[in-house]
Amino acid sequence: MTGRGRLTTAARRRRAARRVPDGPLGTFLRTPPPGPGTPLDEARLLAVDVETTGLDPRRDRVVSVGFVPVDGDRIVLGGAGSMLLRPDDRSGDDGGVGQSATVHGLTDDDVAHGAGVAEVLDRVLTALTGRTLLAHYSTIEVDFLGALCQRVYGVRPPLEAVDTLELQRRILGGGIDMGFTADPSPDELRLWGARGRYGLPRYRAHDAAVDALACAELYLAQVAELRDRGARVLRDLRTP
């Protein structure tokens, strides 16, 4: 425990690992991610995007997941993956994507042919093993992936993240530390607004695979700028 009596992330991972059998989740929990002192050019991350039917993991569900690895300053397209997630009758999913179809473009027929939740989690956790999660507004990915793990394995694994939205907030605030300028506008913090600052192209939004790639590209542009402001290791980027 820390001085405040709270378990460290590493201790929480070890505790969770004792509660799950061998398999992708157990391997993920027993394999340490990059440490906080890892140089940025050696950091191994996995950019992840989930598309959902809403914002509340207690009642909404994941319909697709996309991911792509980042090794230092290189995006590893050969390790990218994308999956649709079919409804799980055992969890009470009604199977309907509802109005969320207007956002991500997926229909009920599309997701009906997707993979099961256990298969999707196994692929994501295998890809995430030994890496740090990277996402834009990582609360969504952390909360929904955690809820899926709780449903399938009975364990919600601790997930540390590098959040490109928070990095953008720091950049627009003037440095690694912020707090001395006005808050950025919502448009400046959105994925496509943040990418526009660096002249990155605008792809089709709300496609999980595309958004994961877009997040990875934004991250590399942000890191290049933050290095000039003193960022050197992973702890300079992690969301508190």
Tell me the average pLDDT across 101-124. Answer: 76
Q: Which residue has the higher pLDDT, 47 or 91?
A: 47
| 95 half-sphere exposure, CB direction, 13 A CA radius | 8
3-state secondary structure of 237: coil
Tell me the average pLDDT across 99-128. Answer: 77
Q: Are 109 and 95 in contact (CB under 8 A)?
A: no
Q: Are 44 and 70 in contact (CB under 8 A)?
A: yes
Confidence of residue 7 (pLDDT cuts 50, 70, 90): confident
What's residue 205's pLDDT? 80
Which CATH number does 32-236 carry?
3.30.420.10
Give helix then strand counts, H and E, for the chain: 10, 6
Quick check: 90 pLDDT over 80?
A: no
What's residue 240's pLDDT? 55
What's residue 179's pLDDT? 43
Q: Are 128 and 25 in contact (CB under 8 A)?
A: no
| pTM score of the predicted model | 0.88
CA distance 84 to 51: 9
Tell me the average pLDDT across 34-40. Answer: 96
What's residue 57's pLDDT? 92
Longest pairwise C-alpha distance within the chain: 52
What's residue 2's pLDDT? 37
Confidence of residue 113 (pLDDT cuts 50, 70, 90): confident
What's residue 3's pLDDT? 40
Q: Which residue has the higher pLDDT, 98 or 200?
A: 200
Chain position carrying tokens 């405040």: 4
According to DSSP H, which parts of 58-163 are helical?
Answer: 101-104, 108-112, 117-128, 138-153
Residue 142 has phi, psi (to 5 degrees) of -65, -45
pLDDT in tens, 44-74: 999 999 999 888 998 888 999 999 999 999 9
Q: Which residues are within 8 A (CB) of 56 and not within 5 positions of it... i.e. 6 or more apart?
A: none
Quick check: 185 pLDDT over 90?
A: no
Q: Which residue has the higher pLDDT, 135 or 110?
A: 135
pLDDT in tens, 158-178: 999 999 999 999 999 865 554
Tell me the average pLDDT across 138-144. Answer: 97
Q: Where are the domains of the chain?
A: 32-236
Q: Are 19 and 155 in contact (CB under 8 A)?
A: yes
Q: Are 155 and 20 in contact (CB under 8 A)?
A: yes
Give 212: exposed, middle or buried? Use CB within 10 Å, 0-12, 13-18, 19+: buried
CA distance 150 to 140: 15
